[in-house]
Amino acid sequence: MDKNRINAYWQLIQKLLESPNGEQRQILNAHFKLLDPGLLQTIIAVAQQLDDDGNQNDASFLTKVALQLGEFLGGDPQPKLIRKQIANILLAWGIKQYDISQFILACQCWEHSLIIYQDINDRQGEADSLGNLGNAYNALGQHKKAIAFFQKTLAIQHKIKDYQGEAYSLINLGNAYTDLFNYKEAIVFYQKSLRVSKIKKNLQEEANALLSLGGAYYDMSLYQEALNFNNQALKINNFLEYYEGKAVPYGNLGNIYHAIGEYNKAINCYEQSWGISRAIRDHQGEAASLGSLGNVYLSMGQYEKAMDYYQKSLVTTRAINDPRIKGNLLNALGNIYFSIKQYEQATICYTQHLDISLEIKDLRHQVVSLNSLGNVCEALKRFEDAITILQQSWKIAKEIQDSQGKASALGSLGIVYSSLGQYEQSISFHQQHLNIAREIKARQLEGVALNNIANVYQQLQETEVAIEKYRDCLTIATSETMPPLCFTAGHNLGNIGFTQSDWQLALEGYEPAIQAVEQLRKGSTTDDRRQKIIAEAISVYANAVQCYINLKQYDRAVETADRSPIAPPRRLIR
């Protein structure tokens, strides 16, 4: 393309931008010789640049002009070669718009390209346009419409023997059924994709199908199956030396290990995923990995590290436009504010997360944000509001077969009813929470449920049952894996023993609590956080020292006093 023609394109675009409304068609007709695929590409590029510069009005105007020009140049009067070029440009433009979550514009591009490909009998282009429309409608939450497009795509691909495309379409159909929470049907399509890939000996597509199967089983909280499928996919990508392809299975494995409470393994997997995403400049993958690392450190009670990773993720998200990642990050920030009892800030974050989830019709994350908002209401003693919100969350979680979301809602309802003094109903909710947690092998949820059940029995003064449940909790929540929960359960168990003058029982709780405190202090990076941990732990150290004195184990008393964040003078314990 010569410079004179490019300059002519730019001058024409400037005239269009400066023209009054309604005169654009006359201007284009006056420059008929410039109307070609090169002009369309230039208008698209200028519109994108204007949008990047924040000039949305002119960008929107040129986008409309580009769509009209594409429709004209792709019409019947034009030569077939020109029409195909136009269809290809529109197809590529749609993909770029889809990648930045501009799904409506992407649909408009692909609807135009589909008509052109059908008119010129280009079956591959037709299949590509149909498949892309399916992906766009799926992203817009119109899953049944997406399935119809995917089925049309699959029929064409089968006819033209595009086996790689078939494998993709089968996965896309599985994804649509997953978004409808019909996991059994999704698994059927993922398995079909796996069979096609194996028959054609396409290892890369085989890995993709395995990852999809792993995702479906993870969504069903069947973590062992999810682990197996993701490990198989990782093994294939290692064999293929497909470096960038390893980021997704590592991230998925991190999610699984986090869900089952194996935090160190989760951190290792997320760091692997982050490193790969950063190396290949995948900003979306990088932001997701950073956010996931923040989630693990939050679960471990290391709030400063969690906040640091969330801030890094926030910086990375500025380079992309993914509402799901932004929503997840807002929820994670809300969790930190909730943990440090800044409920107003937590509410703002959770509400923004809910708004995003409603906008993009993401039911799973609606459950997450509703559970979080219910917890805030409980903490603020707005019990009726908490019950209403948590029941709404439970209803959605049940509808979409989200076992983890359902368990969380039930556990939170148990806490609310305990606060209201309705202990039998509270135990019923906590027991349902515990049953689900054990069924899906979610160790953290199980530990939380056991601690909550113990709390209720302690309030009922059924001490023996409370002791049993705290002990069960401490077998799951160790100082290494779940230090915040370990500290809480250990502290509670220790207090029962101390109140009963059962010094051995008291130490059975206080010792793991002290180990958890030391783990939390080690992970803290600010003096303010360390001081808060110390303030919460002082009584644990003091009581543990007293227990050893009462047992005449003076050396252990001195040792425990020395471990204390604020060690008392030894003359006070001799």
Which pLDDT belongs to residue 565? Answer: 67
Output the six-digit token pair for 342: 């800044």
Q: How far apart (Å, rounded) are the C-alpha atoms in residues 113 and 94?
A: 9
Query: In this structure, what are the phi and psi dihedrals at residue 523, rounded to the nearest 5 degrees?
Result: -85, -5
Which SS3 state, helix, strand or coil, does residue 120 take?
coil
Query: In this structure, what are the phi and psi dihedrals at residue 410, rounded to the nearest 5 degrees?
Result: -65, -40
Output the six-digit token pair for 386: 């908490």
Question: Region 306-321: what's the mean pLDDT?
Answer: 83
The whole-angstrom distance between residue 187's C-alpha and the CA centroid of its chain comes to 21
Count of Cβ atoms closer than 10 Å to residue 333 Cβ = 26
Assess contact for 256 and 218: CB atoms under 8 A. yes
Q: How far apart (Å, rounded) are the C-alpha atoms in residues 111 and 320?
A: 25
Q: Rounded to 5 degrees, what angle do the CA atoms 202, 204, 210 make? A: 105
Assess contact for 222 and 440: CB atoms under 8 A. yes
Nearest to 134 by CA among 105, 107, 160: 107
Beta strands in 8-105 (DSSP E): none
pLDDT digit string, tens, across residues 263-306: 899 999 999 999 999 999 898 899 999 999 998 998 887 888 89
Name the burial class of residue 318, with classes exposed (0-12), middle (13-18) and buried (19+) by CB atoms within 10 angstroms of its CB.
exposed
Which pLDDT belongs to residue 574? Answer: 38
pLDDT digit string, tens, across residues 120-178: 999 999 999 999 999 999 888 788 899 999 999 999 999 999 999 999 999 999 999 98
Which pLDDT belongs to residue 485? Answer: 92
Output the six-digit token pair for 233: 């996919």
Q: How far apart (Å, rounded) are the C-alpha atoms in residues 551 and 272?
A: 49
Which SS3 state, helix, strand or coil, does residue 181 take?
coil
Count the helices and strands in the chain (H runs, E runs): 28, 0
Averaged confidence pLDDT in the chain: 90
Output the six-digit token pair for 417: 């009813």
Assess contact for 529 and 506: CB atoms under 8 A. no
Which SS3 state, helix, strand or coil, does residue 467 take?
helix
Q: Number of C-alpha atoms within 13 angstroms, CB side, residue 7?
A: 3
pTM above 0.85, yes or no: no
Output the six-digit token pair for 355: 């708004």
- Residue 198's identity, in one-letter code, is K
The whole-angstrom distance between residue 223's C-alpha and the CA centroid of its chain comes to 16
Q: Rounded to 5 degrees, what angle do the CA atoms 232, 238, 242 make? A: 115
Output the six-digit token pair for 263: 């935090």
pLDDT digit string, tens, across residues 11-68: 999 999 888 877 878 888 888 888 999 999 999 999 999 988 889 899 999 999 999 9
pLDDT digit string, tens, across residues 234-266: 999 999 988 888 999 999 999 999 888 788 999
Count of Cβ atoms closer than 10 Å to residue 343 Cβ = 17
Nearest to 167 by CA among 175, 415, 550, 28: 175
Which residues, 6+ apart, have CB-to-CB distance to 142 below 8 Å? none
Which pLDDT belongs to residue 324? Answer: 80
354-442 CATH fold: 1.25.40
Nearest to 214 by CA among 238, 235, 196: 235
Q: How far apart (Å, rounded) are the C-alpha atoms in residues 426 and 419?
A: 9
Q: Read off the pLDDT band of 411 (50, 70, 90).
A: very high
